Amino acid sequence: MVDRFMRSARGLVPIRTEAWPFLLLAALAGGCAAPSVVGPAPEAAGTAPARATPAPPSAFDTWLAAFRREAAAQGISAATLDAALGGVKPVEPVIALDHRQPEFLQTFGDYIARRVTAGQVARGQALLAEHADLLDAVEQRYGVPRTVLVAFWGLETHYGADLGGFNVPATLATLAFDGRRSGFFRGQLLDALRIIDAGHVSAADMKGSWAGAMGNMQFMPSTFLAYAVDGDGDGRIDVWRSLPDAFYSAAHYLQRAGWRPNEPVAIEVRLPRDFDWRQARLFHRLKVAEWTATGVEAADPSASLPDVAGRAAIVLPQGWQGPAFMVFHNFDVVMKWNRSMNYALAVAQLSQQLAGGPPLAGGEGEAGALSVAQMKALQQALNELGLDAGPADGLPGPRTQTAVRLFQALHGLPVDGYAGPSLLARVDEAHAAAAAAGTLTLAPAPTFDGTDCDP
């Protein structure tokens, strides 16, 4: 649950995705669903060059002194402050990682291909067997299936293999001082100190991702404080070395986020030939029986769509030619962990394959992802065509998707909201024609009622 604070989770505020949690394209590399970023050893990362003569206090040192006074005023012990922040320096790789800009958007197919591999499934199945008693106990208490927990484990840290090597107090101090999200990381740093103060872990052993996500399930400190539990009953919460603590904590988080036992996250579906693509949107929700009545069925011929109480949506993460999924209430729960549609679909896919389910059946969708520069150009072109794609920020959020859908409707294309290379080519064409005709505009865009799904 990293995030990557761009990952949301667990109380985290996602960074790049907070305004567009409904991505169909999803996930920038390094963005909301970035792979866990495991850094170099903190000793190497945090070493400052030796100085021959004493230097005046740096801006960081001045900031740190003020922070320490505030932390002390909030009750953090002097021993913890000394252990966690004594002599700490900005961790340069963290700054570089925080300022990194992805070059390309990532297609759903690429995202899944990298995360839900045969090896990942086989490893997860072996671990399901190895930890069967523990996972059974967690499932009994919280109602979260073992395959789902193990899927999170695999996606977050490759089943505990990649916990991250950054010293968390140092990385959080770096981000709190340097970052564009100083307030967020300052709060995380205070929470990290509270965890050390409570005796769960020593400052030196508090390792994590460059963004401060910790342990097998990559909890941010605030999430740890709010949701982590002592699964093995030894009096400490050790999300790094105790699998009971890590699994109980993750399941507790999911339960508190509203997990519904006996309901899936998402199921791949086959859509009828005459399916109205406009209906494939995360917030267009129908009862399963209503979808079934339109001809939607499970992609796996041996499976049937589940009988759930709530409503479900159809999503097309790689456009109308790609796989289609019916997503349920628990999909929303997973999106609280990480606000990336691709991530949530990966949890669904990996957990189903861990349970012996088939791999994806649907088409591959349009190949090739737009670069971020191309996405910005697309947004600018849509804006100049009078369709409101929002700021040209390279992020295909809901506003951009709505503009894409409107463009598609105006040009007789399948209205799936997907911005791939072919859509960019069509928009470029229309933009050139409008430029030649002198009709480009930046006038207020026509409104498009995204809830209008009448055929």
Q: What is the DSSP string of 225-294?
A: HHH---TT-SSS--TTT-HHHHHHHHHHHHHHTT--TT--SEEEEE--TT--GGG--TT--EEHHHHHHT
SS3 annotation, 71-134: HHHCCCCHHHHHHHHCCCCCCHHHHHHHHCCCCEECCHHHHHHHHCCHHHHHHHHHHHHHCHHH
Q: Which stretch binds Ca ion (CB under 5 A): 223-231, 319-327, 336-344, 428-436?
A: 223-231
Task: Please say which residue, 61 or 230, places its beta carbon nearer to Ca ion.
Answer: 230
What are the Cα distances from residue 207, in Å, to 68, 260, 390? 20, 32, 39
CB of 224 to Ca ion, least distance (A): 12
CB of 247 to Ca ion, least distance (A): 11
CB of 38 to Ca ion, least distance (A): 24
Q: Are 349 and 152 in contact (CB under 8 A)?
A: no
Whole-angstrom distance, CA of residue 15 vs CA of residue 18: 6
Task: Please say which residue, 94 or 135, places its beta carbon nearer to Ca ion.
Answer: 135
Q: Is 234 in the site for Ca ion (CB under 5 A)?
A: yes
Q: Which stretch binds Ca ion (CB under 5 A): 33-41, 96-104, 235-243, 246-254?
A: 235-243
| Encoded tokens for 102 | 């992805």
CB of 239 to Ca ion, least distance (A): 9
Q: Which stretch binds Ca ion (CB under 5 A): 161-169, 192-200, 211-219, 229-237?
A: 229-237
Q: Is 232 in the site for Ca ion (CB under 5 A)?
A: yes
Instruction: Using DSSP, state whether 6 is helix, strand or coil.
Output: strand
Q: Which stretch binds Ca ion (CB under 5 A): 224-232, 257-265, 363-371, 399-407?
A: 224-232
Question: Total residues at the site for Ca ion (CB under 5 A)?
Answer: 6
- Interacting residues with Ca ion between 337 and 356 (CB under 5 A): none
CB of 155 to Ca ion, least distance (A): 23
Task: Please say which residue, 86 or 233, places its beta carbon nearer to Ca ion.
Answer: 233
Q: Are 412 and 19 in contact (CB under 8 A)?
A: no
Q: Which stretch binds Ca ion (CB under 5 A): 25-33, 227-235, 315-323, 433-441?
A: 227-235
Closest by CA to 46, choosing from 146, 165, 151, 145, is 165
Whole-angstrom distance, CA of residue 285 vs CA of residue 222: 32
Whole-angstrom distance, CA of residue 5 vs CA of residue 381: 31
Task: Please say which residue, 232 or 297, places its beta carbon nearer to Ca ion.
Answer: 232
Task: Please say which residue, 61 or 232, places its beta carbon nearer to Ca ion.
Answer: 232
Whole-angstrom distance, CA of residue 236 vs CA of residue 328: 35
CB of 232 to Ca ion, least distance (A): 4
The residues facing 297 across adjacent strands are 270
CB of 414 to Ca ion, least distance (A): 52
CB of 250 to Ca ion, least distance (A): 14
Q: Which stretch binds Ca ion (CB under 5 A): 97-105, 230-238, 287-295, 393-401?
A: 230-238
Whole-angstrom distance, CA of residue 6 vs CA of residue 17: 6
Task: Please say which residue, 116 or 246, places its beta carbon nearer to Ca ion.
Answer: 246
Task: Please say which residue, 218 or 349, places its beta carbon nearer to Ca ion.
Answer: 218
- Interacting residues with Ca ion between 238 and 257 (CB under 5 A): 242, 245
CB of 164 to Ca ion, least distance (A): 20
CB of 237 to Ca ion, least distance (A): 6
Exposure of 165 by Cβ count < 10 A (0-12 exposed, 13-18 middle, 19+ buried)? middle
Per-residue contact string for residues 176-215; x = within reach of Ca ion by CB under 5 A: ----------------------------------------
Task: Please say which residue, 75 or 199, places its beta carbon nearer to Ca ion.
Answer: 199
CB of 231 to Ca ion, least distance (A): 6
The residues facing 266 across adjacent strands are 327
Q: Report the Cα–Cα distance between both ends of the chain, in Å, rounded.
A: 39
Q: Is 134 in the site for Ca ion (CB under 5 A)?
A: no
What are the Cα distances from residue 248, in Å, to 146, 196, 259, 298? 11, 20, 14, 32
| Encoded tokens for 451 | 């809830």
Task: Please say which residue, 201 or 404, places its beta carbon nearer to Ca ion.
Answer: 201
Q: Which residues bind Ca ion (CB under 5 A)?
A: 230, 232, 234, 236, 242, 245
